[in-house]
Homo-oligomer: A and B are copies of this chain.
Amino acid sequence: MARDPIAVPEERMRDADRSQSTILAAARDEFAECGLGGARMDRIAERAGLNKRLIYYYFEDKEKLFQAVLEQAYRDIREEEIKLHLLELEPAAAVRRLIEFTWDYYLAHPEFMTLLNSANLHKARHLAGSERARELNSPLVETLAAVLERGRREGKFRGGVDPVQLYVSIAGLSYFYLSNNPTLSAIFGRDLLAPKARSERLSHMSDVILGYLLRS
């Protein structure tokens, strides 16, 4: 009552925004755990502590909600990538830093991988709107190109390395190991996420990539 009349819309805005992010976070967890087909709107509402109806109010339907979750996931990782400042490092250190970052990010955000898997299962139709797709392109590819170029100029790196290919390879080395961890752990009969196994994997990946890049 008798509240500052200017503050009112902002307050409302904030509540709406908060509800939306709460839903988004809950949906991300649910989609990550159960996949798109296995996710339940009821459970998302429950996780969010909000009325199910509100999800539809803000996100229209399950499909669109998933899309929103996906976009948020991209925004989140891009935000972290920006903080890397790879150009301030020596080329080899920069590449090592990127490998480490990728590994750590996937480890800390396993949901990112499952979300991507879901998106790809559905042929990435969720980013069919090509306008959006480009925004999701990592700035790291550009950066990596610069790092590779500098390494080559300084005689440290081999030439002719496609930064896109390398970026994909670096991601793939972590992704496959972590995303398929349950299967791999079962098959090999050992816990691939044990501390020792983790550091071994990280070393191996650095060895592979730098063994490939560095001129001997």
| Interface members, chain A 81-118 (any B CB < 8 Å) | 114, 116-118
Among the stretches A20-28, A147-155, A162-170, the one at the interface with B is A162-170
Which of A38, A39, A134: most chain B CB closer than 10 A? A38
B119 touches A183 (CB 8 A): yes
Size of the chain A interface, CB-CB below 8 angstroms: 61
C-beta contact mask, A124-166 vs B, less than 8 Å → 1, else 0?
A: 1001101001101110000000000000000000100010111
For the complex, give the distance between the alpha carbons of A117 and B130 in Å: 25
Q: Does A205 contact B (CB under 8 A)?
A: yes
A residues with CB within 8 A of B: 1, 33-39, 114, 116-121, 123-124, 127-128, 130, 133-134, 136-138, 158, 162, 164-166, 168-169, 171-177, 179-189, 200-201, 204-205, 207-209, 211-213, 216
